[in-house]
């Protein structure tokens, strides 16, 4: 009987309402395999019904955030059925990030390349370390961006900038990423996890409506004004029914800080 314990592809840690998920294949710069995507999707789906989780941080072990699809395992798969691979592993992971009605912060601690860049884009907010970089690596190996990059990147930084990054495949340093709106904050390398978790902890103390805000923003990406006004109507109706709305108004009237429960 083997006593060897497989290294989990995603590490999980929970503290003060914040779940930290660490992509954990540092020897290959956290290159993505099916096990990693499935573990990520499962952890995020478990977080849906876990009241102890009110915000999530995704980061990478070692010096990289994520180098994208593991090209060695993809190459050794023989005839790679890429459509099936994307549908069965990438799509569920991207949906798990977007569908979770709790904020997800990408703490980009180093290079985010290929589908690793895509994972960062699917997060609600991105905090980067000074030495982080972003690389639409796909074109360098004759591919198109996938795993949601062609959806989120033009919406985030505009179509012309997205085309440039995707077609040239040049690396974007953290400072430039901040200038073009690709990341929300850049912090010192050694402070990244602390800062990302502090931001997540702030969000974790916020009201239930933060989840509804995420939902509204998801839907606004495709809606026209009238459709989005209806989304606001629907979600505001839900928000007014929450305990946190009652608490927020009571706290205002009583001139005290609100204590939100996330319900």
Chain positions contacting ligand LHQ, by CB under 6 A: 28-29, 31, 67-72, 74, 82, 85-86, 111, 113-115, 135, 137-138, 141, 143, 146
- Nearest residue relative to ligand LHQ (C-beta): 114
Least spacing, CB of residue 120 vs ligand LHQ, in Å: 12
Q: Closer CB to ligand LHQ, residue 31 or residue 43?
A: 31
Q: Closer CB to ligand LHQ, residue 117 or residue 260?
A: 117
CA distance 175 to 28: 25
Least spacing, CB of residue 139 vs ligand LHQ, in Å: 9
Q: Closer CB to ligand LHQ, residue 74 or residue 178?
A: 74
Least spacing, CB of residue 115 vs ligand LHQ, in Å: 3
Q: Closer CB to ligand LHQ, residue 78 or residue 257?
A: 78
Q: Closer CB to ligand LHQ, residue 19 or residue 111?
A: 111
Among candidates 205, 217, 214, which has minimal Cα distance to 247?
205
Least spacing, CB of residue 89 vs ligand LHQ, in Å: 8
């Amino acid at each position: 009987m083997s006593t060897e314990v497989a290294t989990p592809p995603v590490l999980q840690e929970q503290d003060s309402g914040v779940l930290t998920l660490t992509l954990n294949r540092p020897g290959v710069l956290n290159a993505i395999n099916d096990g990693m995507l499935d573990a990520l999707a499962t952890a995020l789906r478990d977080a849906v019904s876990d009241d102890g989780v009110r915000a999530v941080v995704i980061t990478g072990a070692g010096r990289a955030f994520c180098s994208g699809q593991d090209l060695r395992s993809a190459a050794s798969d023989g005839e790679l059925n890429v459509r099936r691979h994307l549908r069965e592993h990438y799509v569920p992971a991207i949906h798990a990030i977007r569908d979770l009605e709790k904020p997800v912060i990408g703490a980009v601690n180093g290079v985010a390349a290929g589908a690793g860049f895509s994972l960062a884009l699917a997060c609600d907010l991105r905090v980067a370390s000074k030495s982080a970089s972003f690389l639409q690596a796909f074109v360098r190996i004759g591919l198109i961006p996938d795993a949601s990059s062609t959806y989120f990147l033009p919406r985030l930084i505009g179509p012309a900038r997205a085309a440039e990054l995707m077609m040239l495949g040049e690396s974007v340093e953290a400072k430039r990423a901040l200038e073009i709106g690709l990341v929300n904050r850049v912090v010192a390398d050694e402070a990244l996890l602390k800062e990302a978790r502090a931001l997540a902890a702030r969000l974790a103390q916020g009201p239930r409506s933060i989840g509804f805000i995420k939902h509204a923003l998801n839907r606004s990406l495709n809606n026209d004004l009238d459709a989005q006004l209806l989304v606001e109507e629907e979600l505001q109706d839900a928000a007014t029914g929450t305990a946190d709305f009652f608490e927020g108004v009571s706290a205002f009237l009583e001139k005290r800080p609100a204590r939100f429960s996330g319900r």
